[in-house]
Amino acid sequence: MIENKNESMNENIYVPFPSVLKEIIPHTQKEWTFRMSYRDAKNVKPGQFFEVSVPKYGEAPISVSGIGDDFIDLTIRRVGRVTDEVFKFKAGDSVLLRGPYGNGFDTGLYENGEVIVVAGGTGVSPVRGVIEALSKTADAKDKHVIVGFRSPDDMLFREDLKSWAEKLDLILTVDGIPEGSDYKGNIGLVTKYIPDVPIRDLAAAQAVVVGPPAMMKFSVMGLLQKGFKEENIWVSQERKMCCGLGKCGHCRIGSTYVCLDGPVFNYVDSKEMID
Amino acid sequence: MGYVLSKEAFDEVLGKLSEDFLLYSPVRKIGEGCYTDVDVVRYDFVKSLDEIELEAKSNYAFKELLTPLSQTLFFFTENETKEADSDTRDVIIFLRSCDMHAVKRLDAIYLENKFADPFYERVRKRVKFALIGCGHSFENCFCVSMKSNVTTDGYLFSLDFDRDAGQVSCDVKDEDIAKLFEEAGASAADVVPSSVTENDTKVTVPDVVPNAVYKDKLWDEYTARCIKCGRCNFVCPTCTCYTMQDIFYTDNGRVGERRRVGSSCMVDGYTNVAGGGEYRRTNGERMRFKTLHKIYDFSKRFGYDMCVGCGRCDDVCPEYISFANIINKVNAAAKAAAAGEGGAQHD
d(CA A195, CA B157): 69
pLDDT at B84: 80
Interchain pair B80, A15: CB under 8 A: no
Residue among A2, A58, A238 whose CB faces B246 most closely: A58
d(CA B139, CA B146): 15
Q: Give the predicted TM-score (pTM) of the model.
A: 0.93
B343 CB-near residues (< 8 Å, 6+ apart) = B212, B216, B217, B218, B333, B336, B337
The DSSP result for B280-326, as a single string, is --SHHHHHHHHHHIIIIIHHHHHSS-S-----HHHHH-TT---HHHH
A78 CB-near residues (< 8 Å, 6+ apart) = A30, A31, A32, A84, A86, A87
d(CA A124, CA A119): 5
CATH architecture of the domain with residue range A107-270:
3-Layer(aba) Sandwich (3.40)
Q: Is-contact A27 A70, C-beta < 8 A?
A: no
CA distances from A53 to A3, A98, A248, B217, B255 (A): 15, 7, 16, 41, 15
Residue A111, SS3 per DSSP: coil
Question: What is the Rg, in whole angstroms, of the alpha carbon atoms belonging to chain A?
Answer: 19
d(CA A5, CA A162): 47
CA distances from A23 to A63, A72, A94 (A): 17, 11, 12
Per-residue pLDDT reduced to its tens digit, A37-52: 999 999 999 999 999 9
Task: Name the closest residue on chain A to residue B270, using Cα atoms.
Answer: A250
pLDDT at B159: 97
pLDDT at B243: 95
Residue among B214, B246, B300 whose CB faces A56 most closely: B246
% chain A with pLDDT above 90: 87
Neighbours of A160 (CB within 10 A): 18
Looking at residues A121-136, what average pLDDT do you find? Answer: 94
- Best to test chain A binding among B81, B117, B289 (most A CBs inside 10 Å): B81
Task: Name every chain A residue with its beta carbon within 8 A of the beta carbon of B293.
Answer: 252
Residue among B117, B214, B241 whose CB faces A249 most closely: B241
Scan residues 101-130 of A and list those with Cβ closer than 8 Å to B. Answer: none
Instruction: Please give the mean pLDDT across all residues of chain A.
Output: 93
- Class of domain A8-101 as given by CATH: mainly beta
Distance from CA of A50 to the nearest CA of B (A): 15
Domain coordinates in residue numbering, chain A = 8-101, 107-270
Residue A7, SS3 per DSSP: coil
pLDDT at B35: 86
B213 CB-near residues (< 8 Å, 6+ apart) = B330, B333, B334, B337
Which ranges of chain B have pLDDT less than 50? none
Interchain pair B279, A239: CB under 8 A: yes
Per-residue pLDDT reduced to its tens digit, A176-225: 999 989 999 999 999 999 999 999 999 999 999 999 999 999 999 999 99
Per-residue pLDDT reduced to its tens digit, B297-334: 999 999 999 999 999 999 999 999 999 999 999 999 99
What DSSP element (H or E) covers A75? strand A71-77
Sign of the C-alpha dihedral computed for residues B217, B218, B219 and B220 taken in this order:
positive
The DSSP result for B24-61, as a single string, is EEEEEETT-SSSTT--EEEEEEESSGGGS--SS--SS-
Per-residue pLDDT reduced to its tens digit, A81-112: 899 999 999 999 999 999 999 999 999 999 88
Q: Is-contact B296 B209, C-beta < 8 A?
A: yes
Interchain pair A14, B279: CB under 8 A: no
Residue type, B99: D
